[in-house]
Amino acid sequence: MNAFTLFLVAYPGIAFVGIIVPMLAYRWFTRPKYRKHTEWLLVCALFIEPAGMLCQFTANCLSRLEPMKYDLYVYQIDRALGFGRFYLAEWVNSSIPLRILASVSYGLLPAMMFMAFAANLLWDSEDRALQAAKTIAANLFLALPLYLLFPVCGPQFAFPHFPQTPVGIEAVKIAIQAAPNGVPSVHTSTALLILWFMGRSWAGRCAGIIFLALTVFATLGSGQHYVFDLMCAIPYATWILYICGELDTVSAFREQAA
């Protein structure tokens, strides 16, 4: 692969921003009637990638505060659940196209966050789009203290011979020089929130479900997460919806429908 293709595989989110921003700038000049919407979309596109980088940078800094990680404990939980062998990662590692798919899927998060914002802005209302942005942003930043409380890096970083199945593992804390952004899996919780905010239309639900499936494939196939991490993302995403008032919105909608 040439350098440009490698960049697209490694950083699809940055590539997406590089494509969508000029398109939105052109739309701003050529469609003055929709300039307000276009300006909101431009702000979203320009801030999504830096926000993700800030979260990653902060997670890396947390590793210096707590170098000892709980990965072996989490691996034992996975083993107890029947996921002691990294079957999906072995499959992905055996195929270049699958490794490319896993890398691209893992890096698509900024693009899908933008799509959730854009869908609510264009098909619903400005308030609904801002609510989606607030909820997803809270999901990104409120995970940081949890990473410090229960630091887990992922099997790719914990086991030198990953994806080979480790043997003789005891549940002890170990030093790992990697970001402790394992529990909960924010990639998965964000994919769940994207599905939530895009679920009002059939096309949005399909896109959200496909992205959620690709996220599960990418996080486990690349060794960034354990199954336990993904399971923890479900109550975490639910908590985020609750504190951001989304569950109250559902209750109010049901009362109005009744």
Measured CA distances, 45 to 18, 55, 232 (Å): 9, 17, 28
Please say whether the beta carbons of 157 and 75 come within 8 A: no
The phi and psi torsions of 134 (rounded to 5 degrees) equal -65, -40
User: pTM for the whole thing?
Assistant: 0.92
Among 104, 97, 133, CA closest to 211: 104
Please say whether the beta carbons of 221 and 97 come within 8 A: no
Give the domain extent around 57. 3-257
Cα gap 1→126, rounded to integer Å? 42
Looking at residue 257, what is its pLDDT? 43
Looking at residue 2, what is its pLDDT? 67
Span 158-181, pLDDT tens digits: 999 999 999 889 999 999 999 999
Placement of tokens 């702000």 in the chain: 43
- Give me the amino acid identity at 82: G
Span 24-76, pLDDT tens digits: 999 999 999 999 999 999 999 999 888 888 888 888 898 989 999 999 999 99
Looking at residue 5, what is its pLDDT? 74
How many domains, in total, are found in the chain?
1
Residue 195's Cβ-side half-sphere holds a number of Cα atoms within 13 Å equal to 18
Looking at residue 258, what is its pLDDT? 45
Span 176-234, pLDDT tens digits: 999 999 999 999 999 999 999 998 889 999 999 999 999 999 999 999 999 999 999 99
Among 136, 130, 125, CA closest to 208: 136
Span 137-160, pLDDT tens digits: 999 999 999 999 999 999 999 999
**b/e 99-134 (16+ beta carbons within 10 angstroms → b):** ebbbbbbbbbbbbbbbbbbbbbbeeeeeebbebbbe
